[in-house]
Amino acid sequence: MEKPTLLMTGPYPEWELPLLETQYHVLKLWEQTDKPVFIAKHANEIRAMATRGDLGASNDLINALPKLEIISFFGVGLDAIDLNYAKSKNIRVTITPDVLTSDVADIAMGLCLAVARNIPQGDTHVRSAAWGSAMLPLATRMTGKRMGIIGLGNIGMAVAKRATAFDMPISYHNRKKRDDVPYAYCETIEALAAQSDFLVAVIPGGPATQGMISSAAFIALGKNGYFINVARGSVVDEDALLYALENGVIKGAGLDVFLNEPKPDARFTKLSNVVLQPHVGSATYETRRGMGQLVRDNLAAHFAGRPLISAVV
């Protein structure tokens, strides 16, 4: 039987390509110098697309592929695809949830500790041989502080579980109040920020959450509060966040995501009260292998006529 043709918009971890090539005729879009010509040449043979959350699948690309049946995302971010448009074209869309939950929650807690306990500064202090001739300023204890979680889905719940081990009282804001958790619910992000020492964002990106964490939230969080973002850069008013960091409105921030990745606003790099990471929440061997397996399992299910494992459309 002839292999279905799969368009890959960007590279996956190096071990994934050989595995995909055993089942599909793989076209590597990222290697092409003239992508529109390449797409036009293969448009009538491409039945599946494998993409990433940062690359997505534009309406123009979807429209250029009349035989496209399924788009499988390596990740959970759906900012860069119009799901309604995909649905209107009868194209199935899958993601890789759950397998990255623990790692993203881990990085959220790591950022809390790093910014509160001045871990990057301590590392620099030792490496620069300043230890013994100068003292670092005192840090902030994390144990017992109040944790506010914006978005109490799977990742939010994993963050809450970890925060519980630090004896942190937990509150949350969600689209709807949950009846199955013991945590305090806040109607607004601002109300949540006002009763938090660490405010952690784990909500999805997209138009519905664009800029929803605003200057009002940072004012409510206050001069002793920390903001942690492992969600998407788009969920924050970034100018408001920069102003809050530059002017002591909040004490600090730990950021794994930015509005303009991979070239975030240069003002962040000049701040000593922020810990920066290059969107690595799910970047472990264990999770990336699990994500790749789920991409392949969804594709295999589609072409075998079985129910998809993690479909969103």
In the chain, what are the domains?
5-97+285-304 (3.40.50.720), 101-276 (3.40.50.720)
- Strand order across the 147-150 sheet: 184-185, 170-173, 147-150, 198-201, 226-229, 252-255, 274-276
- Confidence band for 136, pLDDT divided at 50, 70 and 90: very high
The predicted pLDDT at position 54 comes to 86
Q: What is the mean pLDDT of the chain?
A: 96
The predicted pLDDT at position 53 comes to 87
From 279, 288, 296, 302, active-site residue = 279
From 21, 246, 261, 286, active-site residue = 261
Instruction: Give the HSE-up count for residue 303: Cα atoms under 13 Å, Cβ half-sphere.
Output: 19
Examine the pLDDT at 275 and tell me if it is beyond 80. yes
The predicted pLDDT at position 38 comes to 98
User: 189 φ, ψ to 5°?
Assistant: -65, -35
- Confidence band for 78, pLDDT divided at 50, 70 and 90: confident
Looking at residues 197-225, what average pLDDT do you find?
96
Higher pLDDT among residues 276 and 80, named by residue: 276
The predicted pLDDT at position 126 comes to 96
| 232 in catalytic set | yes
Looking at residues 152-165, what average pLDDT do you find?
97
Instruction: Report the number of secondary-structure helices (H) and strands (E) in the chain.
Output: 11, 12
Looking at residues 50-63, what average pLDDT do you find?
94
Strands 147-150 and 198-201: parallel
pLDDT in tens, 254-272: 999 999 999 999 999 999 9
The predicted pLDDT at position 206 comes to 85
- Confidence band for 76, pLDDT divided at 50, 70 and 90: confident
% of the chain surpassing 70 pLDDT = 100
In angstroms, the CA 313 to CA 303 distance is 16
* Cα–Cα nearest to 206, from 183, 227, 177, 175: 175
- Confidence band for 3, pLDDT divided at 50, 70 and 90: very high
pLDDT in tens, 23-56: 999 999 999 999 999 999 999 999 999 999 889 9
Looking at residues 206-222, what average pLDDT do you find?
95
Strands 25-28 and 252-255: unpaired
Examine the pLDDT at 77 and tell me if it is beyond 90. no
Burial class of 141 by CB neighbour count within 10 A (0 to 12, 13 to 18, 19+): exposed
Looking at residues 210-218, what average pLDDT do you find?
97
Examine the pLDDT at 1 and tell me if it is beyond 80. no
The predicted pLDDT at position 300 comes to 97
| 261 in catalytic set | yes
Q: H or E element: which one contains 275? A: strand 274-276
The predicted pLDDT at position 80 comes to 86
- Neighbour tally for 87: CB within 10 Å: 13
From 232, 288, 296, 302, active-site residue = 232
| 14 in catalytic set | no
